[in-house]
Structure 1
Amino acid sequence: MKILFLGDVMGRAGRQAIAARLPQMRTDWDLDFVVVNGENATAGMGLSGAHAKGLFEAGADCVTLGDHAFDQKDMLQVCEAEPRIVRPLNFSKASPGKGARLFTARGGKKVIVAQALGQVFMKRPFDDPFSALETVFRAHPLGGQADAIIVDFHCEATSEKMAMGHWCDGRASLMVGTHTHVPTSDAMILPKGCAYLSDAGMCGDYNSVIGMQRDEPLRRFITGMPKDRFTPALGEATLSGVYVETDASGKATRIEMVRQGGLLQQSGP
């Protein structure tokens, strides 16, 4: 299978870049399945139902969320009604929607997409992500009920992401980190066939502070005092993510970092 995962969509610039570039990428790269993390797509804080619809129309098969999953209040209803949205498994037992879903990709292949939140340096405590994902792996073994398994691990610490990657090795096709908005350069295939990247980066304007216009973040760092709200930067966005190919057993055979447009332009697969 040919799989594309795109990192956190950041505000209007990220949405516009997805709409402009993803349809052609699906065609040119002959993609079987596309996952987009959309948790910052609406004003940099959460995802609205209307903006989720736009991501699907552009070519996303699945949209994952994150710690801002329900910042946009209509997502409480949309997440329950829209089966293509995956919220974190360990967000809250009372959360609407599901943290892992089974999808049918092109050619009838079955794909599991699961998301979990990390615990290290996060603003609020979340349940253990390892035990949350264990239930998914037991119910849908790779190469059995699932032709591919994609894990979006939404957290701060690279150490926690690396630990999760090794724990997923042999059980998932791809373990990719999200949340920091900074793309890493450590794409690799682990010994048992799991493709790994510490962070996919963001789909947003990199002439910014992690996607936000620079002035207010700089003011707060320099003076320690807030003055205005954070607002997403509106320059040309870079689509950041990872491209993976898998074999019949669901193991990764190829991984390539993706940087399309903006300041981080780089060729894809």
Structure 2
Amino acid sequence: MRILFLGDVMGRAGRAAITTHLPRLRDEWRLDFVVVNGENATGGMGLSGAHAKILLDAGADVLTLGDHAFDQKDMMAFIDSEPRIIRPLNFSKAAPGVGARVFNAPGGRKVLVAQVLGQVFMKRPFDDPFSAVDSVLRQHPMGGMVQASLIDVHCEATSEKMAMGHFCDGRASIVVGTHTHVPTADAMVLPGGTAYQTDAGMCGDYNSVIGMEKTEPLRRFITGMPKARFSPATEEATLSGLFVVTDDRTGKATRVEMIRTGGRLQQAAPA
């Protein structure tokens, strides 16, 4: 299976990049399944129902969220009406929606998508992500109920993301990090056959401070004083993510490539 994961969509520029590039990429790269992290797509803080529809209509099969899952209040109700949106497994027991679901892919194949929040350096204590992921993977073994599985690890610490990759090695097709908006150069297939990248980066304007217009973040770093609200940068965005080919029989990854399309980080497309 040919699977594309795209990192955190950041504001209007990120949404525009998705709507501009993703329909073409689905055809040119012969993609079977696309997962997009959309938790910053609405003004850099959360995802609205209207913007979720835009990303899904552009070609995303599934949208994942993150620690800003419900910053846009309409998502509290919208997520229950839209099964293609996944919130973190360990967000809150009272949260609407689900943190893992099996989706249909072409040819009758099944794909598990799950998301979990890390604990290290995050603003609030979340439940143990490792036990949450373990429970889901035990219920959906690769090569059995599902032909592929993807875990979006939304957290700050690179060490925690790497630990999750090794924890899931051989049990998930893909473990990919989100949240920091900075793409890492460590895409690889782990010894057990799991495709891994510490952070996919963002789909946003990289002439910025992690997707935000530079003036206010710089002021706060330099002076320690806020003056205005953060606002997403609006120049041409780069789609950043991970392209993975999996074996339908085993669910293991046979190929992995970092993706940079458009904007300042353009690179060659996968063959």
TM superposition score normalised by structure 2: 0.99
> Match for 2:4: what amino acid?
L
- The yes-or-no answer on 1:266 pairing with 2:239 is no
> Match for 1:251: what amino acid?
K
Verify the 8 A CA contact 1:10 1:203 in the aligned structure 2: yes
Structure 2 unaligned regions, length at least 5: none
2:4 matched residue in structure 1: 4
- Cα-to-partner distance string for 1:74-132 (whole Å, 9 max, x where unaligned): 00001111100000000000000000011001111100000000000001100000000
Q: Distance in 1 between matches of 2:41 and 2:212?
A: 12
TM-fit CA distance, 1:29? 0.4
Structure 1 unaligned regions, length at least 5: none
1:250 matched residue in structure 2: 251
Q: Distance in 2 between matches of 1:6 and 1:26?
A: 12
2:207 matched residue in structure 1: 207
- Cα-to-partner distance string for 1:127-146 (whole Å, 9 max, x where unaligned): 00000011101111111101
Q: SS at the partner of 2:256?
A: strand
Q: SS at the partner of 1:26?
A: helix
> Match for 2:145: what amino acid?
Q
Q: SS at the partner of 1:165?
A: helix
TM-fit CA distance, 1:214? 0.2
Q: Count matched residues.
A: 269
- Cα-to-partner distance string for 1:141-161 (whole Å, 9 max, x where unaligned): 111101000000000000000
- The yes-or-no answer on 1:184 pairing with 2:187 is no
1:17 matched residue in structure 2: 17
TM superposition score normalised by structure 1: 0.99
2:161 matched residue in structure 1: 161
Q: Distance in 2 between matches of 1:240 and 1:263?
A: 11
1:170 matched residue in structure 2: 170
Q: How do 1:102-117 and structure 2 match up within 5 A?
A: 102-117=102-117
Q: Distance in 1 between matches of 2:238 and 2:214?
A: 17
CA RMSD of aligned residues (A): 0.4
Runs of 4+ in 1 over 6 A off after TM superposition: none
Q: Distance in 1 between matches of 2:233 and 2:251?
A: 38
Q: SS at the partner of 1:107?
A: helix
- Cα-to-partner distance string for 1:180-199 (whole Å, 9 max, x where unaligned): 00000000000010000000
> Match for 1:254: what amino acid?
R
Q: Distance in 1 between matches of 2:105 and 2:268?
A: 25
- Cα-to-partner distance string for 1:17-47 (whole Å, 9 max, x where unaligned): 0000000000000000000000000000000
Q: Distance in 1 between matches of 2:104 and 2:11?
A: 29
